[in-house]
Structures are given as structure tokens and as C-alpha cells.
């Protein structure tokens, strides 16, 4: 590859290169932070290209070479992966300043100190959640998520609507952190469909009616243990352009939904022209989740409130994707997670040139609105300015009117940390958080001993039980031996 020129890229020195960009693209700084954009030394590529390396499973994929704070010392995904501190890591320091409240939370106590803090990071594969959870409680893991099976025993509500950890975890000084994940789970309409699609006022009102009949708050409570917030639009909290105020279509309102349904030509779920009940189809892919059937039933229940019959057509993911690609779906459920923290990464899912059927893009609803497109083309390459915010607000109003999605929810991540793991700022999109992490190894060792004291009381009880069992047998044996001797 070194024999070919890479146009638009120039090497300045051993550690610096320059890239030319056609036009303006502020989001490019986020692309540079992604793993696939990391520069690789050509010597490493040449080394791994030698005969016999690939046949021995020795490749750049299995033993990556980079300039990060850690290197992969052991790579066994079926058992354990170990990362060790890179002694040649370039000078890097903990931030000197933070956001409001960071000082009070103790997040700047090591400001200005050299990174990273940890010498070794161990990832162990646990194939079952119960052993993993038990090991966390015993102190053998620093952090843990919360599975649905253990959630209710770990988290409880408070009188003021908040949440708190169980007394057992609080007694151990275990901390809970909640982070907003930069993603959205939503239900969508195929805008190419003859019934739920289109841009007539009747079609819009039908989609709006269905949106208002979805009690998303109930869905979050039942299926995510409350780990989420009702979406106010397609842009999650933490990204420029996020709306604090609830979108009127994201607030459950069955009475208004029935009114809009009648105005759309389906009073009480009946087609006013044909007299036939309204019947819709929902495309889904089966993941094998045990809660899957319950989720499908919940979705049917939401439309049943409007006397609309919803038929679930569940297939494997490949078949589901084929239907989406061909525009054969009518309604569907999907999710999108941010590649980079910019509103363009969410609003581009409504840009007509990203439509799935015509262009193979991420616009699964095949939404197309010339007014939205014109605003998107102005907005997408702008810096985060008041002018850009104004364009975002205009686009959100258009989406609210057209209702191509049922604005679902923004998921949240709940993480538990043992007391020896230092506080950190939750980050759900970055890949470099470990270099900021700190642990108190002495405290961990001390609490591991304290939490795993050997239980010795069963030992004397077992010995006593054995004595009670053996003694009568021994006495009986001696008696039999004695009686035999006397007889002789």
C-alpha cells in the first residue's frame, strides 16, 4: 500500500498527518475519534503479512497495534481479555476543569495528573448473569449493570418519585450512576404504504392518533424497569438541539387519539367509506427474548384501544431487513444509537436521500418532505450556533406534524460501582473512558476478605453429626464382637 498515493492525505512527520476535506464538514472531528480511523504503523502491517502468521491466527485483528494508553496483552474472548498499561503512551493528563458540580462530586481531585491510573484491566466472560452478580457482590468485579431479574431487589422507589438502592447495597457503600444513552427506541410508519403512509391530512391524523394511543411511559415501566425517558423527538438528551419540553405527540392522550382517528376517516376504528374495521400489520424480528411475546401483545393492546386490529408478523432479522429494504413493512419497531454526538446523526434518518427503498440509507420510514430536506441541507454542515438551533426547531415542527415515527423513548444505563472504584463521569459513546478510571486496590483486597469470611460453624456441626451417627454404630459393633467372644 505504501507504493500508492493516498490523495488528500499528507504525512507531516512520524506522528502527524494532514487530511483535506472538500467543502465544510464539522462532524469530521468525530469520525477521527472512531476506532476505524486510528492510524496504523506500516511496519506492523508488514510484520503480520509474513507467511505463516495468518495460518497461526496471528494477525493485526487479533493482536492490534496502536498508541493508546493500554495494549491487549491477552486475547481470549471465550474466557478472558487483559489490557496492560502502555509504557510508551504519550503524555496525557486528567482535565483541570469540568462542568458545574464536578468539584463537589470529587471528580477533579486528580486534576492535572498523568494518565492512565490503572496498570491492568481484566475482562472476564461470564456466560450467566447470576454468577456474575454474585461475584460483584463478593467484590470480585468493580462495576456491574443490573439485570431485569435482580432489578426489583436492588432498586426501590422513594416517596418523592425518585429511586434508591436497597439497604444491603447502601450498607456496602455501593454507588448507582445513571447515564442517558445517546440512542432512541421508536416505532415507525412506512410512508410509502397506502394506509399509514402519505402526506394527506387524513394520513397524518391517522399516524398522530396511533402515536397518542401509545402509552410509552407504561412500556418503559413494564419492559425496561423504568430505565428510560419518554422521547420528546428524535434528538436524545445531551446532544445539541434536544428539546426539554414534551412533544404533544409523545404525551399519552387516548381521548384526543380517538378524535383524530375519526377525523382521519376511521371513527371507532371503522373505515367510514367501506364500513370495514381497520386492520394494520406490524413487522418484527424475533430475537428469542423471553419478553418478546409480551411486548408484541402490549403493542397490539395500544391499537386495540382505538379498535384497530394489529397483526404481528414476526420473522428472523434477515427476513425483516428484506421487508424493510423492499418497502413491504407497514409498521415496525427499531432503534438508533449515535455514531457521534451531533444532531445530524439523528435527523439524517428523515432526509429523503437516505430513504431505505430508493437509496439504501437509514431512513427506514422512507420519509420525504422537500421542506424538511431544504432545512436539513442548510443545517447539516453548520457549527452549533443559534442559527443552527433555529433550523433544528423548524425541522422538529415539520416532523411533529407529519408524524413518521411514534416517538418512543431514550434508554438509560444503570451502573453499580463498588466503593473502591473512584467516581467517574458516565460516558455511553466514548471508547477511551478507562484511562480516567481509578481503583483503590488495598481497599478492594480488604473488603474482599471482609465480605468473604469463611463460614466455619457448619464444620463442628458436621463433626458432631458424624459422631452422633458413628458412635451408636461403633458401640453396636463392639457389643456384637463381645457377644461373639462370650459365646465361643
Q: Which residue in the block uniquely carries the three cell numbers 410508519? A: 189
Q: Look at strands 279-285 and 331-337 and give their pairing.
A: parallel
CA distance 438 to 32: 26
For 391-402, how does the pLDDT look when each residue is reduced to its tens digit (9 = 90+)? 999 999 999 999
285-317 pLDDT per residue, tens: 887 777 888 999 999 999 999 999 999 999 999
Task: For residue 135, give the 3-state DSSP assignment.
Answer: helix
CB atoms within 10 A of CB 398: 16
Quote the pLDDT of residue 473.
76
**What pLDDT is attached to residue 454?**
79
Which pLDDT value is given to residue 479? Answer: 78
- Minimal CA–CA distance to 362: which of 381, 348, 341, 376? 348
Asked if the model's pLDDT at residue 320 lies above 90, the reply is yes
- pLDDT of 488 reads 52
pLDDT averaged over every residue in the chain = 90
Per-residue pLDDT averaged across 205-232, rounded?
A: 94
> Any idea which of 258-272, 392-406, 444-458 has the lowest mean pLDDT?
444-458
Asked if the model's pLDDT at residue 165 lies above 70, the reply is: yes
Instruction: Work out the number of other CB atoms within 10 angstroms of the CB of residue 330.
Output: 22
CB neighbour list of residue 148: distance below 8 Å, 6 or more residues apart: 225, 291
**Looking at domain 183-413, which of 3.40.50.620, 1.10.10.350, 3.10.105.10, 3.40.50.300 is its CATH number?**
3.10.105.10
pLDDT category at 484 given cuts 50, 70, 90 is low
Amino acid at each position: 500500500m505504501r507504493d500508492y498515493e493516498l490523495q488528500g492525505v499528507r504525512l507531516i512527520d512520524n506522528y502527524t498527518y494532514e487530511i483535506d476535506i472538500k467543502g465544510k464538514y464539522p462532524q469530521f472531528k468525530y469520525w477521527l475519534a472512531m476506532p476505524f480511523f486510528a492510524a496504523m504503523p506500516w511496519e506492523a502491517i508488514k510484520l503480520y503479512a509474513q507467511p505463516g502468521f495468518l495460518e497461526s491466527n496471528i494477525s493485526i485483528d487479533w493482536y492490534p497495534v496502536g498508541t493508546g494508553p493500554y495494549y491487549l496483552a491477552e486475547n481470549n474472548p471465550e474466557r478472558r481479555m487483559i489490557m496492560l498499561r502502555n509504557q510508551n503512551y504519550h503524555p496525557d493528563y486528567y482535565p483541570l476543569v469540568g462542568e458545574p458540580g464536578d468539584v463537589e462530586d470529587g471528580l477533579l481531585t486528580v486534576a492535572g495528573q498523568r494518565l492512565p491510573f490503572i496498570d491492568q484491566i481484566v475482562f472476564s466472560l461470564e456466560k450467566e448473569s447470576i454468577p456474575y452478580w454474585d461475584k460483584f457482590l463478593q467484590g470480585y468485579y468493580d462495576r456491574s449493570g443490573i439485570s431485569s431479574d435482580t432489578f426489583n431487589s436492588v432498586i426501590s422507589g422513594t416517596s418523592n418519585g425518585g429511586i434508591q438502592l436497597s439497604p444491603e447495597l447502601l450498607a456496602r457503600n455501593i454507588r448507582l450512576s445513571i447515564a442517558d444513552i445517546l440512542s432512541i427506541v421508536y416505532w415507525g410508519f412506512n410512508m410509502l404504504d397506502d394506509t399509514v403512509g402519505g402526506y394527506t391530512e387524513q394520513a397524518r391524523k391517522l399516524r398522530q392518533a396511533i402515536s397518542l394511543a401509545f402509552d410509552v411511559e407504561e412500556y418503559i415501566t413494564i419492559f425496561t424497569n423504568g430505565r428510560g425517558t419518554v422521547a420528546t423527538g428524535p434528538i436524545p438528551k445531551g446532544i445539541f438541539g434536544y428539546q426539554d419540553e414534551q412533544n404533544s405527540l409523545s404525551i399519552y392522550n387516548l381521548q384526543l387519539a380517538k378524535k383524530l382517528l375519526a377525523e382521519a376517516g376511521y371513527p371507532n376504528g371503522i373505515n367510514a367509506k367501506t364500513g370495514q374495521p381497520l386492520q394494520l400489520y406490524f413487522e418484527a424480528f424475533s430475537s428469542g427474548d423471553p419478553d418478546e411475546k409480551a411486548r408484541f401483545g402490549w403493542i397490539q393492546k395500544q391499537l386495540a384501544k382505538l379498535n384497530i386490529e394489529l397483526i404481528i408478523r414476526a420473522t428472523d432479522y434477515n427476513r425483516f431487513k428484506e421487508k424493510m429494504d423492499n418497502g413491504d413493512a407497514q409498521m415496525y419497531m427499531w432503534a438508533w444509537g449515535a455514531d457521534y454526538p451531533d444532531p445530524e446523526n439523528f435527523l439524517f434518518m428523515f432526509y429523503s436521500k437516505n430513504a431505505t427503498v430508493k437509496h439504501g440509507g437509514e431512513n427506514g420510514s422512507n420519509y420525504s418532505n422537500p421542506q424538511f430536506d431544504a432545512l436539513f441541507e442548510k443545517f447539516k454542515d453548520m457549527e452549533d450556533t443559534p442559527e443552527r438551533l433555529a433550523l433544528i426547531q423548524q425541522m422538529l415542527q415539520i416532523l411533529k406534524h407529519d408524524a413518521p415515527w411514534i416517538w418512543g423513548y431514550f434508554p438509560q444505563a444503570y451502573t453499580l460501582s463498588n466503593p473502591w472504584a473512584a467516581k467517574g463521569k458516565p460516558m455511553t459513546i466514548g471508547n477511551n473512558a478507562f484511562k480516567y478510571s481509578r481503583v483503590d486496590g488495598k481497599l478492594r483486597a480488604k473488603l474482599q476478605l471482609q465480605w468473604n469470611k469463611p463460614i466455619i460453624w457448619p464444620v463442628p456441626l458436621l463433626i458432631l453429626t458424624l459422631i452422633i451417627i458413628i458412635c451408636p454404630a461403633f458401640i453396636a459393633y463392639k457389643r456384637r464382637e463381645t457377644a461373639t467372644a462370650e459365646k465361643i
